[in-house]
Every structure is written in C-alpha cells, then in structure tokens.
Structure 1
Amino acid sequence: MYSHDKKFNHVSTTNRLIIRPLKFEDYKNWLHAFKNRFPSQHRYDEGRIDMSECTYEWYSALVAKHQYLALNDVAYVFGVFRKRDGAHLGMVDFSTLARSNFQWGRIGYGIHNQYWGNGYGKEAVKEALNIGFSHLHFHRIEAHINLDNIVSKKLAESVGMKFECIREGFIHEFGEWTDNLVYYVNAN
C-alpha cells in the first residue's frame, strides 16, 4: 500500500502529461474542460453534461472525498493535465479490490472528447499503470470493459493489458446487470 502522510499527492509526468490528484486550485481548468466537451459521440461518452451544480464548494468537497478515499486505500483518482498549458484532459483512477495476498486493483480511464485522437488516453493509462505498480503496489490490475466498447478494449490492448474472460452479469448499469470483458496486467 502507498504510504502517505496527511495527503495523497503523487505526481507523475510523461513527455506531454502531468498525472496527479486534483487540487483545489484546479477548479477553473477542471470546469472549463467539462463545459467544453463535444456532444456525446457514443453510448459510453457522456458528452456535455450539466455542470450548474458544480460550484467551487461542490468541487472542493469532491477533492476532499478523493483524498479521503486515497488515505483509506479505497480509490485513487488522478487528473490528467497537458504539460504545455495545464489543460485538464481527463481522469484515470484505481479502486482497490483486495490487498493481503492479492494486491489487486481496477483501473478506470476517460479523456474529455474534445481531446480525443491525440494519443492522450494511451499515454495517460500507460503511466497510470506504472503508478499502480510502483507507488500503489498492486500486483494485478484489471480493466472492466463493456462488451461493445471497442475503443476502451483497443486502449487496454495498446498498453499491454491481456483479455482474460467475460464476467457475466458483473456490473449494474443502464438499469440492468451487464457483462464485462476483463483485461488484466500483472506486475513484472
């Protein structure tokens, strides 16, 4: 498990990206990215969403919740920022599924649709996996992907994740229990 003091604040960089927990001062960049999304491109893209309730106070509570979840080893949420201008591009996150003899986590990822087609998703997920292994000390990381989410499947494969199985009736979403593809990668 990641050892931290009073805050989880790991920062990682790639050639083009900074991947780190959200900070209170990120509010304007974070809100700007959500407000400038394109309309939904497919079933798994929320597209434009109503951000009217997302005041600074609401956002501050979100950041505090992320810190609480990280400090309790429940989940780790990272913002993905572009180095050259600080633009908020999206998020990557981990959920701790089991520790003890398993050291098992789940990764999730999303890039705002106005930034698609630039390779940011692949770059962010590849670096997030490094964080998951080297700083969060997971041995196994899984991605749970809807059967028809071809884009997510290709992204998982592009960063070296392997298809393992289909878990039937695995996640409750869209008003029903849905099947998911399970992709995984183990620490070297």
Structure 2
Amino acid sequence: MTTIHKTTQRLIIRPFEKEDFTSWSEAHRSVGHLKNHFDLAPRNPEELTPEIFDQILTDQAANREKGELFDLGAFCREKGTLLGGVSLMDIRRIVVFNTNIGYRFFNQHWGKGYAKEAVDAAIDIAFTQLALHRVEAAIEPDNFRSIRLAEKVGLRLEGFKRRFLHLRNGWRDCLIYAITSEERNIEHPGRETTVVPNLRW
C-alpha cells in the first residue's frame, strides 16, 4: 500500500485515520447554508457516527490498496481541523499514468486559499509520491470558482466534453483542464507496463 503525506505552509494533506472522527463530524456539523449549486450538502446528523466513519476508512483503505483512488483530508496544521479534501481518482498506469482530481472544501472555510494550497499539494503528490504523469480536472463551464482555482495551480484548458459527468441528477458538460509532470519540472520515466494494451485479449 502506498502511504502518502504532504505538509504545506498551513495544511497537512493525508489519508483519513480513525482518530479523525471528531474533526470529521464537527466539520459536517459546522457547514453553513449552501452558497451555490456546486456546494455539497453536509452529511445528515444521523450519519455522523463512528460506525459510518469506520466504514468510510475501510473503503478508502481498499481503494488505496488497489492504487485506484486516494481520498485525502486537508487538515489545519495549527488546530488539526478538517477543512476539506482532495481526491486523486481513476488512476491508470497502463501507458497513460493518469489521474483525475476532485476537491471539496467545507464552505465555512471558503475564501481563505486553503483549496488552492491543498490542490497544489495533491498535484505534487500525484507526480512525486504516486509517480503519475498527468493530472486532469473536469469542471462545469459555469463553476467559475473551480476554474479560477485550476488556473491558479497551473492547469491548462484542453477541451470540452459533452454530458461527461453525472451530477445533481443529470449529465453535465465539462471543461477539461490538465497538467503534466514536465510542467512542474518533474520528468516521468514513462515506464513500460507488463500489459501491452493492444494485446490484452
């Protein structure tokens, strides 16, 4: 299992642990009124139990073991508060060495630069600790906050995909932003895989 961890000026980016239950439950309880239709609602109070949190940890550990998905919490270095999180999803290591990045921060912490700091760190994790070559983000065209964040951390607009993500009970068009390791002066070795893609069958 790959262990990943990165400390920034204000944050600690790492997988969730059993000791994070209190911080996790308090973060959900402290969410303010939803600020826009991209803002995710917190969990219902009846879901904020140790049993449900333990199941979340079990599922996340299984995903890390398979190397396909890394859900990372963004914790305040000073107070240990859970501010939000970043996910490195759909990791592929056959030819492309690619991941899709997603991020969600509790709205009581918006406007303080935490998301930029965390996403920037997660991209570095993808290139250095996970040895990936490319990070992509799929963003709805009217999600201007997310677009600004992507641009601030160096992602480039590469294209447009129609009805790409199923969100809020419907298929959504997305802009595709991306960055490669070379753009951060990290050379990827381009390792050959043990599976030749066009001969898998």
C-alpha offsets along residues 74-112 of structure 1, whole Å, 9 cap, x if unaligned?
Answer: 200000000000000001011134211100100001111
Size of the aligned set, in residue pairs, is 182
The 2-side partners of 1:42 and 1:152 are apart by 12
* Largest Rg, 1 or 2: 2
Q: CA deviation at 1:175?
A: 2.4
1:18 pairs, out of 12, 21, 33, with: 12
1:97-108 mapped onto 2 (5 Å cutoff):
97-108=91-102
Partner of 1:143: 137
Partner of 2:192: none
The 1-side partners of 2:179 and 2:45 are apart by 35
Q: Structure 1 counterpart of 2:128, which letter?
A: S
The 2-side partners of 1:178 and 1:47 are apart by 19
Aligned-residue identity in percent: 33
Q: CA deviation at 1:47?
A: 4.0
| Runs of 4 or more consecutive aligned structure 1 residues displaced over 4 Å after TM superposition | none
1:64-103 mapped onto 2 (5 Å cutoff):
64-103=58-97
Instruction: Structure 2: state its 5+ residue gaps.
Output: 183-201
The 2-side partners of 1:51 and 1:93 are apart by 24
| Contact map agreement 1:73 1:96 (CA 8 A) in 2 | no
Partner of 1:183: 177
1:160-179 mapped onto 2 (5 Å cutoff):
160-179=154-173
1:9 pairs, out of 3, 17, 31, with: 3
Q: Structure 1 counterpart of 2:181, which letter?
A: A
The 2-side partners of 1:178 and 1:112 are apart by 22
TM-score of the two chains, using structure 1 as the length reference: 0.93
| Contact map agreement 2:135 2:178 (CA 8 A) in 1 | yes
TM-score of the two chains, using structure 2 as the length reference: 0.87
Instruction: Structure 1: state its 5+ residue gaps.
Output: none
| Closer/same/farther in 2, CA of residues 58 and 48 from structure 1, 3 Å limit | closer
Question: Partner of 2:25: helix, strand, or coil?
Answer: helix
